[in-house]
Amino acid sequence: MTTTENTTWRSAEVSTLDDDTLAQVHGWWRAANYLSVGQIYLLDNPLLRTPLSRDDVKPRLLGHWGTTPGLNFLYAHLNRAIRQREQSTLYVTGPGHGGPGLVANAYLDGTYSEVYSDITPDAEGMRRLFKQFSFPGGIPSHVAPETPGSIHEGGELGYALSHAYGAAFDNPDLLVAAVVGDGEAETGPLATSWHSNKFTNRANDGVVLPILHLNGYKIANPTVLARIPQDELRSLMIGYGHDPYFFEATEETDLATAHREFAELLDTVLNVIAEIKARPDDDETPTRWPMIVFRTPKGWTGPATIDGKKSTGSWRAHQVPLASARDTPEHLRVLADWLGSYRADELFDDEGRLDPFIAELAPPGSLRMSATPHANGGLLLKDLRMPSFRDFAVDVPAPGATIAESTKVLGTWLTEIVRQNPDNFRIFGPDETASNRLQAVYDATDKQWNAEFVGPEVDEHLARAGRVMEMLSEHQCQGWLEGYLLTGRHGLFNCYEAFIHIVDSMMNQHAKWLKVTNDISWRRPIASLNYLLSSHVWRQDHNGFSHQDPGFIDHVINKKAEVVRVYLPPDANTLLSTYDHCLRSRQYVNVVVAGKQPSPNFLTMDEAVAHCTRGLGIWEWAGTEQVGENPDVVVATAGDVPTLEGLAAVDILRRNLPELRIRFVNVVDLMRLQDEKEHPHGLNNHQFDMIFTRDKPVIFAYHGYPWLIHRLTYRRANNENIHVRGYKEEGTTTTPFDMVMLNDLDRYHLVMDVIDRVPSLGSRYATLRQRMVDKRITARQYTREHGDDIPEVRDWAWPSEYAQTFASDVSSTGGDND
């Protein structure tokens, strides 16, 4: 599938480290530990050329030491192995708290000075390196976008393995060394992500080497996995389908012995991986990939005790063990001893340059884990080959004249994208890709599955390799996709609308990552994170109240405007046009909400493209306004079901109030409603006032929680006149129209809203208003009796007679819809 890069999977003689290599590895580790401690504590005097004084210590000590030495140890050993095997390797740091360690290693690698030219590989650079850490105007204390070699912040725990597997998909020559903290291992998302091995293809995907870092403690507690019998832990890992290798070092372990034992274990494990990789591609022997249990003391090499209490090897080493080093002479002395224990004078010369012999441990160029292009995915990103979405347009001879399932139509186009992009595009979903009606993609691909098969009568569209990734874990879908995108590929996540809240916090972290990378010059743009939310709030006939929640939109737009976009295409052609835009975009979180049920098509493809490009627009064919006259009322809609109800309301109004001048507005790009100062897509006030008027009533039928529209428009001149109908958490129901009635979003209620709010109508239309109330009562009664919507609603369609006025115009503008 993918071409090989710089290596195949090599075996090597298992090493127990000759004395030189031991000195080199140990030297690297000491250097990395020294630099880590320096970052946490030192404001100045980086090489301790003068005795450590109070003023050398930062006034506010912020950061985390506990996990860092373990991460540094692994980094040093991986360096040795990578250099020997020329193995392209990505290092995923689950314990994001190990920020100083990853920065230290990138500095020792040379990468840090390459991307941050003021952090030079000398004493002054080291001083800057130390000072900037967790310091105002400096860098964050966590592994972060600012850290070269990182795709994973780890600020919020739980996603190390799903990110690692996402990075490995379609990178057959990549090793992903994924360190999982034992705190993180307690989270739900991490606990299920061990099962990712069942979704990984041996031939086409890279290899994830999980390293469970058992340092035993969290902030204030022991960790679960460090406090179960080793046999039980072994069973757990075997039960997850992994082949565990155990390493243990205690505070008493001789460090040379620790290095020799770990080197041997790492070589053994990498050889096992090489053997598995060497099997023929079509060999279907069940694969049990190795993983490493790495049990080391928390805060390894730090002070054994502080103030008479055990520090190293306890939760007390989690953050800053000597928090009052500046103000307590005894702590300052302990800190000086601690720093001294690394014998930095043997590691760095008088200019602060790393001993060349130790520096040689770093692999060359992009084989450095801090410099791998996989951790700066934009470098590897290729544009998708995009078939023209126009070729997949549905025919719309007149507005509402044809019916389609929007997501099903989208699926036909995605099928062609899958065909044309066989190794850098995947579709993720929690068992819902077919339920969300994208099943056409199975004409071109399968669901990737590497657990057991039973037989074709049940295992439809299931294969060892495929572009669709389905596991019933929204966390896994999101985490895999993030890992896939961050390493320079493309994809989308289709999900039931209500349950996308499961990944609210993951979306937060990804959006923050994007926001920060926008300001980091060496980070290249990556493909957007695209959501397709279907099975939405208005059509939960099978499931009811628990499956109704349109609030992900509200959640997303709290993130920085420059990285979030929300689209509500009202029909199939607008969905195609919208998604084409999303898949071409970079550095965004795009949320697209679209129905999967049969519903009318309103716009030809030319109209759809124009409408989506504008983001919102007046549907002239639907309204009754005259050019040159102000409308009496604006009926605005956003979302497919609200658009249908809005049009049905206009139909009633046109029949009963032919003199009423109605403007019909549809909004696809929700961010257009905001002010241009708030969002790059926002309309300026003049444009907004042109469309929504400055003083006419606006009846707005909206897909989600109604107050979002108010939030987006509260500064507009016409704000007071905007009356929004949306979802109100009103409980369960089982027919489509009953659902909209329950939330007062139905056509009859919208008509009542117009009558109530257009001052010129007043009591003259009391009878029509009452008729609407009665219609609702009748419709509900019918539904209660028959279990289905009343036919006049269910079978309603936009009347063809209205369309004729504009049909000639419409057909003259576009010809590629047939």
By CB under 8 A, the residues from 684 to 723 that bind a copy of itself are 705, 707, 710-711, 714, 719
Among 459, 675, 676, 689, binds a copy of itself (CB under 8 A): 459
DSSP 472-483: S-HHHHHHHHHH
Determine, following the binding rule CB under 8 A, whether residue 545 of this chain makes contact with a copy of itself: yes
Q: How many CB atoms lie within 10 A of CB 554?
A: 15
Q: Rounded to whole angstroms, how far apart are CA atoms 77 and 266?
A: 8
Determine, following the binding rule CB under 8 A, whether residue 731 of this chain makes contact with a copy of itself: yes
Q: Using CB under 8 A, which residues numbered 408 to 447 contact a copy of itself?
A: 431-435, 447
Least Å distance, CB 52 to a copy of itself, is 17
Q: Rounded to whole angstroms, how far apart are CA atoms 128 and 120?
A: 8
Determine, following the binding rule CB under 8 A, whether residue 732 of this chain makes contact with a copy of itself: yes
Alpha carbon dihedral 29, 31, 34, 39, in 10-degree steps, equals -110
Q: Rounded to whole angstroms, how far apart are CA atoms 378 and 522?
A: 10
Q: Rounded to whole angstroms, how far apart are CA atoms 572 and 449?
A: 31
Determine, following the binding rule CB under 8 A, whether residue 184 of this chain makes contact with a copy of itself: yes
* Residue (188 or 364) nearer to a copy of itself, CB: 188
Which span sits near a copy of itself by CB under 8 A: 106-114, 502-510, 521-529, 659-667?
Answer: 502-510
Least Å distance, CB 777 to a copy of itself, is 13
Least Å distance, CB 511 to a copy of itself, is 8
Determine, following the binding rule CB under 8 A, whether residue 21 of this chain makes contact with a copy of itself: no
Among 56, 267, 470, 580, binds a copy of itself (CB under 8 A): 470
Q: What is the residue type of 79?
A: N
Alpha-helical regions (H) of 585-694: 605-614, 640-656, 685-692
Determine, following the binding rule CB under 8 A, whether residue 189 of this chain makes contact with a copy of itself: yes
Is residue 678 helix, strand or coil? coil
CA angle 221, 227, 232 (to 5 degrees): 150
CB 736 within 8 A of CB 537: no
Among 81, 126, 144, 465, binds a copy of itself (CB under 8 A): 144
Which span sits near a copy of itself by CB under 8 A: 336-344, 350-358, 408-416, 543-551?
Answer: 543-551
CB 401 within 8 A of CB 590: no
Determine, following the binding rule CB under 8 A, whether residue 187 of this chain makes contact with a copy of itself: yes
Determine, following the binding rule CB under 8 A, whether residue 792 of this chain makes contact with a copy of itself: no
Nearest Cα to Cα of residue 262 among 351, 193, 177: 177
Length reported for the chain: 818
DSSP 8-state secondary structure symbol assigned to residue 695: S
Determine, following the binding rule CB under 8 A, whether residue 235 of this chain makes contact with a copy of itself: yes
Q: How many CB atoms lie within 10 A of CB 654?
A: 17
Q: What is the residue type of 237?
A: M
Q: Rounded to whole angstroms, how far apart are CA atoms 323 and 328?
A: 9
Q: Indicate the burial class of 42 (C-beta count within 10 angstroms; 0-12, 13-18, 19 or more).
A: buried
DSSP 8-state secondary structure symbol assigned to residue 144: -
Least Å distance, CB 201 to a copy of itself, is 16
Q: How many CB atoms lie within 10 A of CB 784?
A: 10
DSSP 487-538: TT-EEEEEEETGGGGGGHHHHHHHHHHHHHHTT-TTSPP-B-EEEEEES-TT
* Residue (450 or 643) nearer to a copy of itself, CB: 450
CA angle 99, 102, 108 (to 5 degrees): 140
CB 133 within 8 A of CB 142: no
DSSP 8-state secondary structure symbol assigned to residue 133: B
Least Å distance, CB 309 to a copy of itself, is 7
Q: Using CB under 8 A, which residues numbered 617 to 646 contact a copy of itself?
A: none
Q: Using CB under 8 A, which residues numbered 289 to 328 contact a copy of itself?
A: 309-310, 313-315, 319
Determine, following the binding rule CB under 8 A, whether residue 532 of this chain makes contact with a copy of itself: no
DSSP 49-82: SS---GGGB-SS--S--TTHHHHHHHHHHHHHHH
Q: Using CB under 8 A, which residues numbered 68 to 97 contact a copy of itself?
A: 96
Which span sits near a copy of itself by CB under 8 A: 70-78, 403-411, 416-424, 551-559?
Answer: 551-559
* Residue (279 or 784) nearer to a copy of itself, CB: 784
Q: What is the residue type of 775?
A: K
Determine, following the binding rule CB under 8 A, whether residue 549 of this chain makes contact with a copy of itself: yes
Determine, following the binding rule CB under 8 A, whether residue 516 of this chain makes contact with a copy of itself: yes
Determine, following the binding rule CB under 8 A, whether residue 778 of this chain makes contact with a copy of itself: no
* Residue (141 or 624) nearer to a copy of itself, CB: 141
* Residue (61 or 108) nearer to a copy of itself, CB: 61
Determine, following the binding rule CB under 8 A, whether residue 228 of this chain makes contact with a copy of itself: yes
Q: Using CB under 8 A, which residues numbered 120 to 139 contact a copy of itself?
A: 131, 134-138
Q: Rounded to whole angstroms, how far apart are CA atoms 265 and 249?
A: 13
Determine, following the binding rule CB under 8 A, whether residue 521 of this chain makes contact with a copy of itself: no
Residue found by looking up tokens 């360190």 in the block: 179
Q: Using CB under 8 A, which residues numbered 200 to 219 contact a copy of itself?
A: 217-219
Among 109, 153, 267, 625, binds a copy of itself (CB under 8 A): 153
Least Å distance, CB 772 to a copy of itself, is 20
Q: Rounded to whole angstroms, how far apart are CA atoms 612 and 668?
A: 6
Determine, following the binding rule CB under 8 A, whether residue 472 of this chain makes contact with a copy of itself: yes
* Residue (229 or 628) nearer to a copy of itself, CB: 229
Determine, following the binding rule CB under 8 A, whether residue 54 of this chain makes contact with a copy of itself: no
Q: Using CB under 8 A, which residues numbered 560 to 599 contact a copy of itself?
A: 560
Among 787, 795, 808, 818, binds a copy of itself (CB under 8 A): 787
Which span sits near a copy of itself by CB under 8 A: 154-162, 596-604, 692-700, 767-775?
Answer: 154-162
Determine, following the binding rule CB under 8 A, whether residue 551 of this chain makes contact with a copy of itself: yes
* Residue (278 or 472) nearer to a copy of itself, CB: 472
* Residue (227 or 279) nearer to a copy of itself, CB: 227
Instruction: Return the exposure string of 414-447: e unless at least 16 CB atoms fall within 10 Å of the residue's CB, then b.
Output: bbbbbbebbbbbbbbbbebbbbbbbbbbbebbbb
* Residue (499 or 806) nearer to a copy of itself, CB: 499
* Residue (42 or 647) nearer to a copy of itself, CB: 42
Determine, following the binding rule CB under 8 A, whether residue 795 of this chain makes contact with a copy of itself: no
Determine, following the binding rule CB under 8 A, whether residue 769 of this chain makes contact with a copy of itself: no
